[in-house]
Each structure stands twice: as structure tokens, then as C-alpha cells.
Structure 1
Amino acid sequence: MTARIVLVDDHPVVLAGLQALVLGLPDLELAGLASCAAEALALVRGERPDIVVLDMGLPGMSGLTLAERILEERPATRIVMLTHYEEPSYVQKALRIGIRGYVLKASAGEKVAQAIRSVLSGGVYIDSELEDFRSEWIRKLCPIAGVTTATASDTLTYREMQVLRLAAVGHSNKEIARRTGLGIKSVETYRYRACKKLMLHSRLDIIRYGASHGWILDV
């Protein structure tokens, strides 16, 4: 299945590089290019892309603010943020907003491709150069006392595993139903059964379990 992508950056050279990268990936279709927030919003509204690769340092409106606007209008859109900022506070804010990929502009193009594929598959990608933040983020999500030792592959059916993995990376039951072709009631049932088998009692437990088993971060 081909995913549609919009690229947003106010630097023509960077935008051209991203365009060349995307055109070289056969499973991606370029839906449009934008150099400012207004152009990006118009493209997202008109083209309804699956993913947006977005520069944080846009003129007039920050990439974080633009990401919030996009996700308010189209929550199913996946966003990969390109930035020079390595500070943990920026990464944390991006993740809280709902951005699924955070890549440093100094990184090679291959990392952008990895982030796109990871995010489209339901994962969260944080640049490997931010190792200290990544390690701390996983530690906070997965305190040793809070992670069950049950192994999903030994206890869950295919559908239970599928639903739980999507829930672990933040998808709602409605989104899971859309992605899997299941009905909402079926999603609720599979999620309940998976949680019961693994003794997971809350959404945070699901996230912790997913992070501890490598479902959330792809590097």
C-alpha cells in the first residue's frame, strides 16, 4: 500500500533533498511540498496525507504549533519532526503533542527514511543521537516494578497481539478498528482479553509493556 506524504521546510535545499529521498522510496507518494505553515495547512486539508515531514523552525508559526493544528484537524496524520534542537524539553513537548518521529537535521537522509517507515508502521522514532533522552524516556515508562514478565508471543492470539501493539503506540479503539478492518466491539474484546492475559490494568500499563518489548521505539 502506498502512503501519501507532504514535506514542509522553508529551506529550498533541504526541501529538495527530502523530495529526492521520497521519490526514491517506491512505497511513498509525494502529495505536495510546502515552505510555510499556511501552505502546509492547505495541503493537508486538500490532499489528506498519511504522513507529514515537518521542519520545526518555520517562519511565522513554529513547527510544533503547526503540528498541533494539523493533529487537531486530522488526528490520524502521522508527523515526523525535523529539527536542530537536541534539548529534552523539545522532544518531550513533541511527544506530548502527538508527533511520532523526531529527527535531527544533522542526521543522514537514511534516518529520515527510517523514521517515516517506523511512524507509518505505528511506531515512535527518536533520533539515535538523542541516546540519553531515549534511555531516560524508556526508564520512566518502564520502571522495573511496573512491567509484567509475561511474554505476549507465548500467550496472545494474532489479533490480540495486533490490537495491543497498536494500543501501546497510542491508537484509539476507533483508529485500531480502521487500521485492522475490525469492528469497534471486536477491538474492545481483543484488547480486554490481551490485558487480562498479561495482567495489564491501565493504558499506562499497556504503554510500559509495549516500551519494554521494543514496540514503541524503533532505531
Structure 2
Amino acid sequence: MSEMIRILLADDHAVVREGLRALLEQQPDMRVVAEASDGPTALRMVVGETPDVIVLDMKMPGATAVETIEAIKQQRPRTQVLVFTSYAEDSQVRDALTAGATGYLLKDALAEDLIRAVREVNAGRAWLHPQAQRQMLEWMRRPPSQVDSLTSRERSVLILLAEGQSNKQIARNLGLTAGTVKGYVSQVLDKLGVADRTQAALLAHKEGIAPE
């Protein structure tokens, strides 16, 4: 039998983790060693349980998935991250891979695809869902945009700003302080090269990263 792959499941839905555990532990070379419902817990588990692969959702409470991936790779570079989520927006795929994820799989994938993806990323080989591949190709073909210079957190702030939310509302939605949000807004305006929130919002709508 192949060497055992130690897996950490990071998803805020217990029923998803339960289903993943049941599926993965049917494989003779896989064992789920820990579960986490948010980014900070996942990071602690990485340090304590030293998993080989983390199956990570992009939408969890606390730190953003991109921040969690970056922290995981800093703490344990040899641990591979397989994003397993419901969305494949080009910015999400790009940010996850840039942060250090080795694979990106959507939750509509077949069970056999998930199992193969875990084995592939454990071996250090990239694995992308077909939709994620298309998004990356489309992004690579697009002309460079000012928005591409934003971090994942700055992009989240811009989207909420474009929805007309105040700094206090953005802070509440992202779990940050109003002062921290004010700093992010300043960074966003500077990177986009715009003078105020209105111009930033117009640019966000033009680039298609904010809802109409």
C-alpha cells in the first residue's frame, strides 16, 4: 500500500466535512487527521497535526481563504492545499494559486475526481477543475487591469465599497475595525489611481467585479 496521505478538512459546514471524511477514508491510502470550521483553526491544526494535504473551502468565517493559504504555506511549506469550493471566479482561482494552493476543485466534481485530486496535489502536481482552467485562461488573455494589483482583502473592500457601504458597514461585514477598513480604502484608491470612493466604485463596475 502507498504511504498514507494525512488530510485536514477545512469547511464551515459540518455535513460537508462528514461527507468528505466518509469518502476519503474509504481509500486505503488516505486518513483524515483533523477538521476545522474556519481559517484560524485550520492554521492551528496544520501546526499540530502536520497534514500532507488540506482540503480547503474558499468561504469560511475569519481570515480570508487566501490569507489562510498564505499563512499555512509559511508555517508548513510542504503541506499541499487543495481548494474545494463552489465558486471559480477568475480572481479567486488566481489568488488561491498565487497564495500557494496546488489544486482548485469545485464541489460539483465527481467523487473519483476529488480522490484523484488529493493524490495529485499530495505529489506536488497541480490539479484544476475544468471551469477553473477556463477562468485562468480568460484572465491571462485579458489586458492588464488596475484591479489586478489589489490583494484579495482589498478587492473585498472595493466590492463592498462599490455597493455603497460605509466604512463601518464594510468593517462589520469583514470582521475588521473601521480604522483598518479606512486604511484599506486608502490603499485601494492609491492602487487604482482614483481620487475618491465614487471613482473607485465606477471602476469596479466597469471591470465587472462588483454587482450591477
Instruction: Please give the range of the TM-score, normalised by the shorter of the 2 chains.
Output: 0.5 to 0.7
Deviation string, structure 1 residues 51-104 (Cα, Å, up to 9, x no partner)? 111111001222221111111111111000112222112111111111001011
Tell me what 2:49 maps to: 47
Map 1:21-100; keep pairs closer than 5 Å: 21-100=23-102
Deviation string, structure 1 residues 20-54 (Cα, Å, up to 9, x no partner)? 11111111122111112232122111111111111
Tell me what 1:192 maps to: none
Shift, 1:136, TM fit: 5.6
CA distance in 1, matches of 2:133, 2:32: 31
Contact 1:8 1:54 in 2 (8 A): yes
SS in 1 for 2:55: strand
Unaligned runs of 5+ in 1: 140-219
CA distance in 1, matches of 2:133, 2:40: 34
Tell me what 2:10 maps to: 8
Tell me what 2:134 maps to: 132
Shift, 1:129, TM fit: 3.1
Give TM-score, length-normalised by structure 2.
0.61
Tell me what 1:106 maps to: 108
CA distance in 1, matches of 2:95, 2:40: 22
Contact 1:126 1:134 in 2 (8 A): no
Unaligned runs of 5+ in 2: 142-212
Shift, 1:19, TM fit: 0.6
SS in 2 for 1:91: helix
SS in 2 for 1:106: coil
Contact 2:11 2:37 in 1 (8 A): yes
Cα RMSD (Å) of the superposition? Answer: 2.1
Say if 1:131 and 1:43 are closer, same or farther in 2 by CA, change over 3 A: closer
Tell me what 2:148 maps to: none
SS in 1 for 2:77: coil
SS in 2 for 1:16: helix
Moved beyond 6 Å, runs of 4+: none
Tell me what 2:120 maps to: 118
SS in 2 for 1:119: helix
Shift, 1:121, TM fit: 1.9
Contact 2:94 2:136 in 1 (8 A): no
Deviation string, structure 1 residues 163-203 (Cα, Å, up to 9, x no partner)? xxxxxxxxxxxxxxxxxxxxxxxxxxxxxxxxxxxxxxxxx
Tell me what 2:21 maps to: 19
Say if 1:88 and 1:51 are closer, same or farther in 2 by CA, change over 3 A: same
Q: Percent identity?
A: 39
